[in-house]
């Protein structure tokens, strides 16, 4: 026994001696390519030519689609022409409608950003440079397909014709706010528009969308679900649990990952971008994965339509990575100049989504610069007038806009006795205090 014990100790000593010759372990900490003060240079970024990616049948086996998760589906080329198998060949009226919705979304963002800077609301988030992600998808989905958005998909509501004054009322949390001031500004909810309540908790909408899609399939309905999250949110557990449920039950759902390169001040490398694409995460779950040019409205439309047709034919979910860039700060509470190069946005090689769709429409002969300028002026005036009407309902700092007793309402279908007692006690105290 003693010899065995000494033998074991000797082996351990030999192992320790051998490890002394090994290099020390190092922890890899991802670093963004450009920091404040650096000159941004994306010349080494691999951007395949438009029209190069094949378009498989919607019912194809995901195992045969791996290249689509690593490439980049693009439709619009440098001259604004639609090329390749993914060209959706949209009629002129659809193209102009998409262009108008994108321009209206940007005008809306600009007005609400100024309103926040003027102290009229506490918070706002712009979608500048990402308008195609929402508008292209909304155009390809049915109007009653259920959307589970993140907080930069205001374009879905706008594309579906939702009144922008209602959105402004929610931002101001005024007396016209249908959510009665219970949501952070920009966290809209519009059941009538098949638009689920936005949540500030990242990726919670993913399992919600999958569950809704599973219920739709179980009922034998024809509606599908679509959901969005940022690339940083793919590191959340909810993202992965949603993917496994979607895969196992072949849920009719579209899982959109908006890779805009930055999750607040953390670049995409912290979510795994250095190792592979975000679309490639679909492969491990047996899900169809598409990586697309998120600044190309036609590519977004085509990919979403492909995924929607696949879901409606009971072939299961699709994960779409929208490769794009967040041109502005994460929110009005953010200063991107503190963590990234100032000229990254201007150097981004995929351009501006509105300018690219405008170029396409002009190349087709259905649009021109004069009509575009007139449209921008009209939309700016439309947003200005809506803002003035919304502000009549109140803005930040104008006091309480909803009766205090409403905080007890809308939690249960029928208010239980204990909440009724609490509500009455509060009202009695307010009355006694002369309030």
pLDDT (tens digit per residue) in 179-206: 999 999 999 999 999 999 999 999 999 9
> Looking at the structure, do residues 339 and 377 belong to the same domain, yes or no?
yes
Compute the mean pLDDT over every residue in the chain, rounded to the nearest whole number: 95
Looking at residue 126, the DSSP 8-state letter turns out to be: -
CATH code for position 383: 3.40.50.970
At residue 7 the predicted structure's pLDDT band, cuts being 50, 70 and 90, is low
**In Å, how far are 208, 241, 271 from 235, measured between CA atoms?**
17, 11, 6
Looking at residue 82, the DSSP 8-state letter turns out to be: B
Residue 322 is predicted with a pLDDT of 98
What is the per-residue pLDDT across 67-123, written as a single tens digit (0 to 9) for each? 999 999 999 999 999 999 999 999 999 999 999 999 999 999 999 999 999 999 999
What is the per-residue pLDDT across 29-44, written as a single tens digit (0 to 9) for each? 999 999 999 999 999 9
The reported pTM is: 0.94
Looking at residue 211, the DSSP 8-state letter turns out to be: H
Residue 180 is predicted with a pLDDT of 93
Residue 18 is predicted with a pLDDT of 78
Contact indicator for 53, 69 with CB cutoff of 8 Å: no
At residue 136 the predicted structure's pLDDT band, cuts being 50, 70 and 90, is very high
Question: Which pair of tokens denotes residue 24?
Answer: 């020390």
Residue 55 placed within a domain: no
Q: How far is residue 170's CA from residue 184's CA, in Å, rounded to a whole number?
A: 8
> Looking at the structure, do residues 433 and 356 belong to the same domain, yes or no?
no
336-358: buried (b, 16+ CB within 10 Å) or exposed (e) per residue?
A: beebbbeebbeebebbbbbebbb
Q: Any idea which residue has 């030999």 for tokens? A: 14
> Looking at the structure, do residues 129 and 164 belong to the same domain, yes or no?
yes
Residue 404 scores a pLDDT above 80: yes
Q: Which long-range contacts (CB under 8 A, 24 or more apart) does 402-405 make?
A: 402/175, 402/177, 402/180, 402/181, 404/430
> Looking at the structure, do residues 287 and 417 belong to the same domain, yes or no?
no
Residue 243 placed within a domain: yes
Residue 399 is predicted with a pLDDT of 80
Comparing 365 with 430, which gets the higher pLDDT? Answer: 365
Residue 315 is predicted with a pLDDT of 98
> Looking at the structure, do residues 251 and 335 belong to the same domain, yes or no?
yes
Which residues form the domain of 434?
405-435
Q: How far is residue 150's CA from residue 198's CA, in Å, rounded to a whole number?
A: 6
Residue 3 scores a pLDDT above 60: no
Number of domains in the chain: 2
> Looking at the structure, do residues 109 and 162 belong to the same domain, yes or no?
yes
Residue 238 placed within a domain: yes
Residue 16 is predicted with a pLDDT of 77
Residue 295 placed within a domain: yes
């Amino acid at each position: 026994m003693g010899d065995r014990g000494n033998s074991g100790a000797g082996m351990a000593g030999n192992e320790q001696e051998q490890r002394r010759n090994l290099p020390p372990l190092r922890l890899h900490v991802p670093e963004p390519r450009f920091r404040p003060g650096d000159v941004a240079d994306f010349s080494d970024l691999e951007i395949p030519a438009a029209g190069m990616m094949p378009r498989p049948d919607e019912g194809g086996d995901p195992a045969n689609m791996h290249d689509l998760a690593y490439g980049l589906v693009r439709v619009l080329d440098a001259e604004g022409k639609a090329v390749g198998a993914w060209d959706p060949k949209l009629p002129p009226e659809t193209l102009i409608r998409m262009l108008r919705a994108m321009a209206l979304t940007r005008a809306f963002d600009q007005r609400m950003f100024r309103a926040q800077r003027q102290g009229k609301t506490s918070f706002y988030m712009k979608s500048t440079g990402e308008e195609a992600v929402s508008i292209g998808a909304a155009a390809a989905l049915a109007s009653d397909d259920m959307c589970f958005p993140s907080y930069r998909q205001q374009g879905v509501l706008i594309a579906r014709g939702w009144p922008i004054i209602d959105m402004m009322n929610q931002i101001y949390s005024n007396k016209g706010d249908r959510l009665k001031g219970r949501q952070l500004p920009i966290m809209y909810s519009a059941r009538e528009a098949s638009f689920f309540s936005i949540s500030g908790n990242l990726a919670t909408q993913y399992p919600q969308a999958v569950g809704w899609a599973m219920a739709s399939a179980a009922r034998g309905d024809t509606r599908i679900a679509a959901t969005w999250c940022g690339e940083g949110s793919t590191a959340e557990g909810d993202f992965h649990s949603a993917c496994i449920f979607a895969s196992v039950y072949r849920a009719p759902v579209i899982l959109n990952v908006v890779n805009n390169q930055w999750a607040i001040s953390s670049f995409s490398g912290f979510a795994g971008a250095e190792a592979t694409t975000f679309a490639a995460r679909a492969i491990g779950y047996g899900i169809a994965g598409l990586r697309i040019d998120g600044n190309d409205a036609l590519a977004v439309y085509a990919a979403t339509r492909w995924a929607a047709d696949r879901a409606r034919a009971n072939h299961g979910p699709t994960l779409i990575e929208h490769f794009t860039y967040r041109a502005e700060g994460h929110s009005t509470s953010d200063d991107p100049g503190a963590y990234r190069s100032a000229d990254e946005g201007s150097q981004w090689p995929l351009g501006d989504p509105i300018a690219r769709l405008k170029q396409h429409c002009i190349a087709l002969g259905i649009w021109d610069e004069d009509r575009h300028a007139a449209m921008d002026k009209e939309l700016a005036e439309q947003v200005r007038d809506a803002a003035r009407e919304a502000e009549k309902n109140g803005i930040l700092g104008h006091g309480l806009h909803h009766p205090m007793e409403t905080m007890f309402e809308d939690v249960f279908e029928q208010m239980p006795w204990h909440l009724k007692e609490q509500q009455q006690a509060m009202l009695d105290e307010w009355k006694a205090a002369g309030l």
